[in-house]
């Protein structure tokens, strides 16, 4: 199995605070990989380092090539990043958000993709012209995912998709992610506070502690791991 | 009644000149978060270029108009890339001070090249009047309103219906998010500065025939434009246009029908509008309200 994305000794800092102290991880093509950990462990920063929204050092390889540059370049390389706290343009309409999702694409198949998206999220068609800010929290999160899909990414990065959402909506979002993976072979890197649902969805996971990888392995194995269970699963 | 309508139309004409410059201020405020104090001088420079092309180089009016718009656009992009962008990482105050520096610099440049002499500028429209429903309306007024409206509509179409327009809006409302979807935000902001320079050039070239061209042509107009932008809501493009027209008509009617408000009190009138709006309703007529969930 080839790795689509590889991080090797990636470090990042916010001013004097070192947030990542040498992260190494692999996301195999066609798999869902989860990044777990407590608040401040560096989960979000890991995604930011990949998308170039924080200054990083170390090696990041994507699809066999070194990944460099800011978020514009990373988006063009085929990585769609749904940031923490709903990645939508609240002042723009739903359909404008989707169009922006496909901004980096040069082909003219946006229309067909728009139709495909509305199969996954049927409510989107009825709300097409509504400002994204008027959607509910769950709908905004789904719109953020839909917008990311419009780019036809090779890798989808989700940052805490469950944040502030009702359990039923969280399950719905993860169900869609699993189905996208199963049906279209979409590779996903998901950062999640809710370890249980993340481990149920991902095939493997990394647990971060103060900017380092503390534990890693297949999801079944981590679910049985005593320290992971006590710290993150609470049983 | 006919006299009243005549004053309204004249007010609309000067109002559309304010509107165009106000729209330039709003575009830059939305994109860069500052008031561009050099907007007026940039417009004056554009107007001098147009005057120079027609008077010194014998060009016809409309080709000179078009070339001036193009040069203004490139100039606006260049100013953003060369002077504003390197300072954008700093505080807002820093960018504001840079725009004030630009104001002084461009003004000096104009005096250096063209001297401070007052110049007469030809109007592209005949000075005749036509009669519509018993009201004599100057063709120049209609032309002025028409050119501004055409510019505004073209801009609106650009922002509403093109991919690049959407990207520009995205870059203005949420730059971090825009970068994540692959929008080159800095270039979008530069385009915004370019378009603002075009709007300023339109207002300068339309104002010059009646105000005469001198290096301080736009100094007072910038105050009116600022009043219009504040009245409409400093973040609202529609507000800038409506604010400009209201201000133009309002000041014209006041000047005509209220005895003690002569031409001398127009500018203080605009300043009063700024003061009252900022005190009573800082978001202006069309200012941004929080989007609520339904």
Residues of A in contact with B294 (CB under 8 A): 134
Spell out, as residue ranges, where chain B has pLDDT lower than 70: 261, 288-294
- Residue A228: is its pLDDT beyond 70? yes
Higher pLDDT, A164 or B169: B169
Q: What pLDDT is attached to residue A235?
A: 59
- Residue A230: is its pLDDT beyond 70? yes
Burial string for B225-249 (b: 16+ CB within 10 Å, else e) reads bbbbbbbbbbbbbebbbbbbbbbbb
| Residues ≥6 apart with Cβ < 8 Å to B175 | B185
Residues of B in contact with A90 (CB under 8 A): 173-174, 291
Q: In whole angstroms, what separates CA B286 from the centre of its chain?
A: 18
Distance CA B220, CA B57 (A): 29
Q: For the residues of B262-275, what is the DSSP string, one character each? A: -GGGHHHHHHHHHH
Whole-prediction pTM: 0.89
Residue B289 covered by a domain = no
CB A102 within 8 A of CB A110: yes
Q: Which residues of B touch A (CB under 8 A)?
A: 163, 166-167, 169-170, 173-174, 176-185, 291-294
What average pLDDT does range A53-57 have in this prediction?
Answer: 92
Residue B118 covered by a domain = yes
- Residue A100: is its pLDDT beyond 60? yes
Q: Which residues of A touch B (CB under 8 A)?
A: 51, 53, 70-72, 75-76, 81, 83, 87-92, 96, 99-101, 103-104, 131, 133-136, 147, 151
- Of A84, A180, A171, A98, nearest in space to A132 by CA: A98
Phi, psi for residue B118 in degrees, rounded to 5: -85, 130
Residue B249 covered by a domain = no
Q: What pLDDT is attached to residue B188?
A: 95
How far, in Å, are A86, A152, A191 from residue A138 at the CA level?
Answer: 9, 22, 17
Query: Which of B174, B179, B294 lies at the smallest CB-CB distance from A134?
Result: B294
Rounded to the nearest angstrom, the minimum Cα separation between A71 and chain B is: 5
Residue B114 covered by a domain = yes
The helix (H) or strand (E) run that includes residue B129 is: strand B129-132
Structural domain for B47, as ranges: 17-216
CA atoms within 13 A on the CB side of B23: 30
Q: Where are the domains of chain A?
A: 3-87+153-233
Q: Cβ contact (<8 Å) for B170 and A89? A: yes
Total structural domains in chain B?
A: 1
Q: What pLDDT is attached to residue B35?
A: 93
Residue B254 covered by a domain = no
Indicate the fold that domain A3-87+153-233 takes in CATH.
Rossmann fold (3.40.50)
Is 0.95 exceeded by the ipTM? no
Q: What pLDDT is attached to residue B293?
A: 45
CB A156 within 8 A of CB A188: yes
- Residue A162: is its pLDDT beyond 60? yes
Residue B245 covered by a domain = no
Report the Cα–Cα distance between both ends of chain A, in Å, rounded. 33
In 3-state terms chain B splits into helix, strand, coil percentages (rounded to 5) of 75, 5, 20
Burial string for A141-180 (b: 16+ CB within 10 Å, else e) reads bbbbbbbbbbbbbbbbbbbbbbeebeeebbebbbebbbeb
Q: What pLDDT is attached to residue A1?
A: 59
């Amino acid at each position: 199995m080839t790795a689509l994305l590889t991080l090797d000794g990636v470090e990042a800092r916010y001013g004097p605070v070192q947030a990542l102290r040498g992260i190494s991880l692999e996301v195999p093509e066609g798999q869902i990989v989860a990044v777990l950990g407590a608040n401040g462990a560096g989960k979000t920063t890991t995604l930011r380092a990949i998308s170039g929204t924080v200054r990083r050092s170390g090696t990041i390889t994507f699809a066999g090539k070194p990944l460099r540059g800011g978020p514009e370049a990373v988006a063009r390389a085929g990585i769609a990043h749904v940031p923490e706290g709903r990645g939508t343009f609240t002042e723009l309409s739903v359909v404008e958000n989707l169009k922006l999702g496909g901004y980096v694409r040069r082909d003219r198949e946006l229309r067909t993709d728009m139709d495909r998206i509305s199969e996954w999220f049927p409510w989107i068609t009825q709300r097409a012209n509504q400002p994204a800010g008027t959607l509910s929290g769950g709908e905004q999160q789904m719109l953020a995912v839909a917008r990311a899909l419009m780019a036809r990414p090779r890798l989808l990065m989700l940052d805490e998709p469950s944040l502030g959402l009702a359990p039923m909506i969280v399950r719905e979002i993860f169900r869609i992610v699993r189905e996208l993976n199963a049906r279209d072979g979409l590779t996903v890197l998901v950062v999640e506070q809710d370890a249980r649902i993340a481990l149920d969805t991902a095939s493997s996971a990394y647990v971060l502690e103060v900017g380092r990888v503390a534990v890693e392995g297949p999801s079944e194995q981590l679910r049985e791991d005593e320290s992971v269970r006590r710290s993150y699963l609470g049983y | 009644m006919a006299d009243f309508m005549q004053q309204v139309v004249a007010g609309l004409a000067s109002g559309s000149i304010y509107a165009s410059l106000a729209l330039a201020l709003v575009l830059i405020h939305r994109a860069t978060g500052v008031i561009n104090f050099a907007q007026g001088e940039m417009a004056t420079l554009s107007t001098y270029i147009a005057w120079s092309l027609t008077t010194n180089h014998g060009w016809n009016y409309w080709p000179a108009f078009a070339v001036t718009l193009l040069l203004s656009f490139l100039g606006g992009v260049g100013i953003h890339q060369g002077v504003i962008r390197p300072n954008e990482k700093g505080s807002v105050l820093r960018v504001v001070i840079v725009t004030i520096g630009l104001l002084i610099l461009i003004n000096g440049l104009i005096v250096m090249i063209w001297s401070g002499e007052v110049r007469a500028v030809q109007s592209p429209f005949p000075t005749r009047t036509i009669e519509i429903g018993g009201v004599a309306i100057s063709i120049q007024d209609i032309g002025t309103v028409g050119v501004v409206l055409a510019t505004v509509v073209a801009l609106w179409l650009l922002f509403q219906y093109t991919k690049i327009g959407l990207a520009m809006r995205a870059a203005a409302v949420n730059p971090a998010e825009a970068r994540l979807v692959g929008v080159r935000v800095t270039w979008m902001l530069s385009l915004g500065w370019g378009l603002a320079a075009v709007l300023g050039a339109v207002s300068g070239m339309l104002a010059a025939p009646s105000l005469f061209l001198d290096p301080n042509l736009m100094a007072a107009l910038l105050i009116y434009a600022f009043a219009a932008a504040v009245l409409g809501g400093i973040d609202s493009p529609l507000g800038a246009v409506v604010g400009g027209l209201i201000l133009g008509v309002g000041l014209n009617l006041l000047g005509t029908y209220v005895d003690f408000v002569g031409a001398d009190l127009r500018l203080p009138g605009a300043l009063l509008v700024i003061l009252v709006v900022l005190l009573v309703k800082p978001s202006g007529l069309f200012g941004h309200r929080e989007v609520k969930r339904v």
